[in-house]
Protein backbone atom coordinates (compact mmCIF):
# COMPACT_ATOMS: atom_id res chain seq x y z
CA UNK A 1 0.00 0.00 0.00
CA UNK A 2 2.74 2.41 0.96
CA UNK A 3 4.70 1.67 -2.22
CA UNK A 4 1.60 2.35 -4.34
CA UNK A 5 1.12 5.70 -2.61
CA UNK A 6 4.78 6.56 -3.05
CA UNK A 7 4.59 5.59 -6.73
CA UNK A 8 1.50 7.77 -7.22
CA UNK A 9 3.26 10.74 -5.59
CA UNK A 10 6.33 10.11 -7.76
CA UNK A 11 4.21 10.05 -10.91
CA UNK A 12 2.52 13.31 -9.91
CA UNK A 13 5.89 14.94 -9.22
CA UNK A 14 7.34 13.81 -12.54
CA UNK A 15 4.18 14.93 -14.37
CA UNK A 16 4.52 18.38 -12.80
CA UNK A 17 8.20 18.52 -13.74
CA UNK A 18 7.38 17.39 -17.27
CA UNK A 19 4.72 20.08 -17.63
CA UNK A 20 7.15 22.70 -16.29
CA UNK A 21 9.88 21.62 -18.73
CA UNK A 22 7.40 21.58 -21.63
CA UNK A 23 6.25 25.10 -20.77
CA UNK A 24 9.87 26.23 -20.49
CA UNK A 25 10.59 24.75 -23.93
CA UNK A 26 7.79 26.86 -25.39
CA UNK A 27 9.14 30.11 -23.93
CA UNK A 28 12.88 29.42 -23.80
CA UNK A 29 14.02 26.42 -25.87
CA UNK A 30 17.65 26.50 -24.71
CA UNK A 31 16.92 26.62 -20.97
CA UNK A 32 14.03 24.18 -21.38
CA UNK A 33 16.23 21.74 -23.26
CA UNK A 34 18.93 21.98 -20.59
CA UNK A 35 16.40 21.38 -17.81
CA UNK A 36 14.88 18.52 -19.78
CA UNK A 37 18.29 16.87 -20.11
CA UNK A 38 19.06 17.31 -16.40
CA UNK A 39 15.67 16.01 -15.27
CA UNK A 40 15.93 13.16 -17.77
CA UNK A 41 19.26 12.11 -16.26
CA UNK A 42 17.81 12.24 -12.73
CA UNK A 43 14.75 10.30 -13.89
CA UNK A 44 16.85 7.51 -15.42
CA UNK A 45 18.98 7.34 -12.26
CA UNK A 46 15.85 7.31 -10.07
CA UNK A 47 14.25 4.53 -12.11
CA UNK A 48 17.45 2.51 -12.03
CA UNK A 49 17.66 2.06 -15.80
Average pLDDT, 10 consecutive residues per value, the chain (49 residues): 87 88 80 80 74
Q: What confidence score (pLDDT) does residue 48 get?
A: 62
User: CA dist 23 to 2, 27, 45, Å?
Assistant: 32, 7, 23
pTM: 0.49
10: alpha, beta or left? (left if phi > 0; alpha if psi -120 to 50): alpha
Q: What confidence score (pLDDT) does residue 24 get?
A: 76
Amino acid sequence: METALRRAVSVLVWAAIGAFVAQSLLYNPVAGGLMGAVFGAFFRKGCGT
